[in-house]
A and B are shown apart, each in its own frame.
Chain A
């Protein structure tokens, strides 16, 4: 099965090479847990002939995102605008949220992306007028994303007790949770994944808080944790 690298060797180790291609994964966690850095590092790790389509909603203004993005070592400024395309769907989700699938179809036709990132996807759900509308939008989004050869990431400031309540978690193929842990080595993040798309289940890594290198991981921690049942660490790492 084709894999999409995260751009982080330790996260790839946990995910058995990366995310399953063509899947829809939710990257969740509280503000400051490193979701956006994680997704941007993933985007820059997958530069190629077909672009990464990075869709902003109502989380952070695009100029702010781009300003801080350039502080990271993994950022290739030359790729921005061509291999990584930023588009805002804020107008659609605020004025006619039910038309988001239509807008996505237009963007897929225009850019033909290999990877699609929604940041923040939770903001999209928050702006839906009611649950039936949100379920219909989710169904159509999933149908479009399944029809086309792309791998999708829904980034959101979700917390654990939202998982059984929010319909997007039933639609997604996999879930990655980043959590802050200020009790060890300063601020750390833990990644837990579960999925129906063949990624590792219930595992963890311990990167530092985001620094200039992106999500930096501690290999010793990763190796120790990867010996847990259900893990399949690479032998060459």
Chain B
């Protein structure tokens, strides 16, 4: 497992209600991701393809987007680049979770983290918590959480 964002540790309670947008088309992965992320205290929305992911990210403003690279219409790396180039979405953290060994490509696309499938619930949840730590801390300081 590798993530490129700074890790400073975070407790489960601090992540409550954070919205995660997952871009994934495999129904089995979607089922497991929803279960493990919701069980960890997050709110989860799904996009079935890249175009929908960009539209939902702009509209919903999730704390983090978790995307597979292999998604229809617009691949996950393009989703990542698009979000990072748009003033309205560049602040959204992007975690690439893919069957492909593409850590370098994910980094080049501007992703904040990369994980390789198969899905490991502990690794996924801990990575999300660590990536979200700066946002959670900032929103807490403003009384949002």
Binding site for B on A (CB under 8 A): 22, 50, 105, 108-109, 112, 140, 143-144, 146-150
Q: List 14 additional A-B contacts (Cβ < 8 Å) besides A147-B29, A148-B28.
A: A50-B122, A108-B32, A109-B35, A109-B36, A112-B122, A143-B28, A144-B28, A146-B118, A148-B118, A148-B120, A149-B119, A149-B121, A149-B123, A150-B118
Please report the C-alpha to C-alpha distance between residue A1 and residue B18 in the assembled complex, in whole angstroms.
Answer: 35
Q: Which residues of B contact A149 (CB under 8 A)?
A: 118-121, 123
Q: Which residues of A contact B26 (CB under 8 A)?
A: 143, 147
Chain A contact residues, majority secondary structure: helix
Which of A112, A144, A148, A150 has the most C-beta atoms of chain B within 10 angstroms of its own C-beta? Answer: A148
Q: Which residues of A contact B36 (CB under 8 A)?
A: 109
Please report the C-alpha to C-alpha distance between residue A140 and residue B29 in the assembled complex, in whole angstroms.
Answer: 12
Which of B26, B29, B118, B120 has the most C-beta atoms of chain A within 10 angstroms of its own C-beta? Answer: B118
Of B31, B119, B123, which one neighbours A105 at CB under 8 angstroms?
Answer: B31
CB distance from B121 to the nearest CB of A (A): 6
Indicate the size class of the contact surface on chain B.
Answer: 10 to 19
Across chains A and B, the number of contacting residue pairs, with CB separation under 8 Å, is 34
Q: Within 8 Å of chain A (Cβ to Cβ): is B139? A: no
CB distance from B36 to the nearest CB of A (A): 8
Q: Which residues of A contact B28 (CB under 8 A)?
A: 105, 140, 143-144, 147-148
List of 3 A-B pairs having minimum Cβ-Cβ separation, nearest first = A149-B120, A147-B28, A149-B118
CB distance from B22 to the nearest CB of A (A): 13
Q: Using an 8 Å CB-CB cutoff, how does the interface string of B30-70 with A read, 1 for contact, 0 for none?
A: 01100110000000000000000000000000000000000
Q: Within 8 Å of chain A (Cβ to Cβ): is B117? A: yes
- Known pairs A143-B26, A147-B26; A109 contacts B118 (CB<8 A): no
Which of A22, A108, A150 has the most C-beta atoms of chain B within 10 angstroms of its own C-beta? Answer: A108
Q: Which residues of A contact B122 (CB under 8 A)?
A: 50, 112
